[in-house]
Structure formats: structure tokens, C-alpha cells
Amino acid sequence: MTTPLVIKIGGRVLTDPTALSQLFSTVQKLAALRPLVLVHGGGDQVQALLQRLGDVSAKTDGQRVTPAAQMPIVAGVLAGDLNSQLCAIAQQHGLASVGLTLQAGSTVRCEVDTTRGAVGIPQPHSSKLLELLLDANYLPILSSIGLSADGQRLNINADLAAGAVAQVLHADLILLTDVAGILDRDGLLIDSIDATQVLQLISDGIVRDGMVVKLNAALQAAQHSRRSIAVAGWQDANALTRLAKGEAAGTRIRF
């Protein structure tokens, strides 16, 4: 099998039906080039529903705190409503999508992050299910819902989830963002970056909050799988196509 490509989808694109349809037009083209797996978050949708229900949703260090009592809502939004929407859009674009969670086929196993409630720390485990689906030309779409060893449903940061899935498959990884990639102090795109430079950007406060999590997920995946990892903007279809072909675009993470 050709080296798979894992793409993490999140941010504003999930709230914009027109942009999402345009993105899946690009995904359709990428699927003709190589096997694809999509991993998605949906924090904005979760937060919006919690607010309508009179509940609160907090973050620490760019990651969401999820009390166990909120998991039925989180799982319903991510694994139910949003995942089924993405599968439907994919099928409208001629893609044979299959909606999954991280625990399907024991693809990813999770430890509980006791500092954030019902939040999991994902670890790659089994590639068997995803390989079966990819060999049969299906498009797996995974929500970032995991499972602890004792059966507790867990909310997983989607960037970390995508990194774990990429490690499982020894795949290339693209983390899509609302910006063109990693930006320097002057707001200019950084073409490539290594672990030392990442730490410096974080130390200098240039990279903050959710982007710190994204970069750490990318570095971990790059160091484990020794494959191509990139952070790129979802708005640029040409950039995604170049990345799928192994060409330069966005910010490339060097291991």
C-alpha cells in the first residue's frame, strides 16, 4: 500500500458549510493520489451546545477541560452529529466514507489525563482496521473520542489524536489550521522548523495555546514515524495538493 496521508480537520472550516464543501472537493482529488484518513475535532460546536444548555467549557494550555458529566454531550457532538455530517459530505463528493472513533479496532488507546477530567492522552496501538479499510478504498473519518482501559469515554485533543493515528499507520500527516502555517514574530510563514526552533518559539511566546499542542503533536509524530509532517491552512487547496505529492507548502516539521 502507498504511504497513507492523515489529515486533521478542525477550526473555522467545520462551522462554514461552503468552505467545508470546497475542502472536500480537494480531499476528493487527494484521495486519487494516495490512501487518506481524516481525523476531526469540533471544539467550537461542543462549546456552542454547552453554552446553549447553560454549561461552561474551559481550556488550560490550549486543551479543553472536560468534566465526566459533559461526555454525553461531547461524544454526541463529535462522534454523532459532526462525524455523520462529514461522512455525508464526503459521500456527496464520491468518497466511500466510514465514520469511526479512535477506539474502533483498538486503533488508539488512551490514558486518562487526570488534570483535565474525562480527557485522554492518546497512544498508537493497532493499524489493522484502518489498513483493511484503506486497502478496500474506503475513507476512514475518525472523531477524537477515545476510550480508557476501564471503558471510560474520553475527549481527545484532535491534533494529538491525528498524530497518534499517523504513528499507527507510519503515515504522513497534515494538521490543518485557520492560518497558512506556523508564523514568526512578524507574522511571516516559516517554511520548515525543527524541535529546537519549536521550543524557542514557545519560550518566546510567539507560539501559544492551541498551536503549542499542534506543534507538539507534529513533532511527536515526526520523531516516531520519521515521515513528512506539515502544518498548513485549509483555505489553500494548492498547498494541500503539493503536500500530498511531497512538495513544499505550509510549514514542514523536521525530525
Catalytic residues: 8, 11, 43, 159, 214
- Residue 211 and residue 193: Cα distance in Å, rounded? 14
155 appears as a binding residue in the annotation: yes
The grid cell for 81 is: 452529529
The grid cell for 168 is: 499507527
Phi and psi at 26, nearest 5°, equal: -70, -40
β-strand partners of 122: 110
β-strand partners of 121: 111
205 appears as a binding residue in the annotation: no
163 appears as a binding residue in the annotation: no
Contact 177, 231 (CB under 8 A): yes
DSSP string, 30-46: HHTTS-EEEEE--HHHH
181 appears as a binding residue in the annotation: no
Placement of cell 525530525 in the chain: 255
Contact 210, 176 (CB under 8 A): no
Annotated binding site, which residues?
A: 42-43, 64, 155
Annotated binding site for substrate, which residues?
A: 42-43, 64, 155
